[in-house]
């Protein structure tokens, strides 16, 4: 199967200026796709953009992905962050890459192309945990729900895994691994600890650091420097934001 032969025949496709063996196509206004072959011409790196296409940024992403092909392959993970990516005028600091089992770019119309396509997008270090912290299901959920890779103008969406149990609301998570959530969910559950003895919230950041908060008449933080300490809610939320964003 020749990825170049398939992509170069998409309706409306054109060569991507300045990047060899790369193409751009836009099936409808506001939705842009761009892709480039890997150095061995067996893999396709693809960037999707919704209402945020920037040709310079997209070209930079594709060139970086091509140059990082061996590192992506060596990672052996469905969701990978390659450090060192930068682009003038943007705050992104990693190259995000999601494998064929994570994205669904060509799953329906071109299943043979799907198998060799890696989704490429700009990211932030705080959005990616170590590869061994992702199951395939986790990687899919993170990619679709939180990373929003087609928004090339997005703010960081920090990696966050949470376990909690609340004796008052009866809300909680099942199992030992917790669930991936947005920071707003963490903030809500921390606030709901107020007046709920025996309740707790545990959260893990992108560095694999774990923190536990319990209610004992105030918010008791366990983990991090300084050992156990009681905090007010505003101070606790500031601590959580700093822990999540690195």
pLDDT tens digits along 24-70? 999 999 999 999 999 999 999 999 999 999 999 999 999 999 999 99
Handedness of CA 107, 110, 115, 121 (dihedral sign): negative
What are the pLDDT digits (tens) for 95-141?
999 999 999 999 999 999 999 999 999 999 999 998 878 889 999 99
What are the pLDDT digits (tens) for 170-197?
999 998 889 999 999 999 999 999 999 9
| CA–CA dist 164, 214 (Å, integer) | 10
CA dist list (Å): 199 to 53, 87, 172, 215: 45, 44, 10, 6
pLDDT of residue 76: 83
In the predicted model, what is the mean pLDDT of residues 194-210?
Answer: 95
CB 50 within 8 A of CB 31: yes
Rg (CA), the chain: 21
pLDDT of residue 135: 86
Nearest Cα neighbor of 183 from 245, 110, 100, 121 is 245
pLDDT of residue 150: 97
What are the pLDDT digits (tens) for 76-94?
889 999 999 999 999 999 9
With a cut of 80, say whether residue 224 has pLDDT above it.
no
| CA–CA dist 222, 129 (Å, integer) | 21
pLDDT of residue 225: 72
Q: How far is CA 183 from the centre of its chain?
A: 14
What are the pLDDT digits (tens) for 159-177?
999 999 999 999 999 988 8
CB 213 within 8 A of CB 221: yes
pLDDT of residue 132: 79
Nearest Cα neighbor of 4 from 27, 24, 18, 21 is 21
| CA–CA dist 75, 131 (Å, integer) | 8
The residue ranges of every structural domain in the chain are 3-147, 161-245
């Amino acid at each position: 199967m020749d990825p170049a032969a398939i992509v170069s025949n998409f309706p409306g496709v054109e060569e991507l200026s300045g990047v060899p063996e790369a193409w751009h196509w836009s099936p409808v206004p506001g939705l842009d796709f761009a892709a480039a072959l890997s150095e061995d011409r067996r893999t396709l790196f693809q960037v999707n953009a919704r209402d945020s296409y920037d040709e310079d940024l997209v070209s930079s992403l594709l060139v970086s992905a091509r140059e990082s092909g061996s590192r992506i392959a060596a990672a052996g993970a469905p969701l990978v962050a390659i450090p060192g990516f930068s682009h003038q005028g943007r705050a992104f600091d990693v190259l995000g890459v999601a494998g064929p089992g994570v994205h669904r770019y060509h799953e329906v119309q071109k299943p043979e192309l799907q198998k060799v396509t890696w989704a490429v997008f700009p990211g932030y270090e705080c959005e990616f945990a170590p590869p061994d912290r992702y199951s395939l299901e986790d990687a899919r959920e993170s990619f679709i729900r939180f990373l929003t890779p087609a928004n090339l103008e997005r703010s960081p969406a920090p990696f966050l895994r949470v376990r909690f149990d609340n004796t008052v609301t009866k809300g909680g998570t099942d199992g030992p691994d917790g669930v991936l959530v947005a920071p707003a969910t963490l903030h809500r559950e921390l606030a709901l600890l107020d007046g709920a003895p025996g309740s707790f919230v545990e959260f893990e950041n992108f560095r694999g650091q774990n923190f536990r908060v319990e209610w004992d008449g105030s918010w008791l933080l366990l983990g991090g420097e300084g050992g156990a300490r009681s905090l007010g809610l505003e101070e606790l939320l500031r601590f959580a934001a700093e822990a999540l964003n690195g």
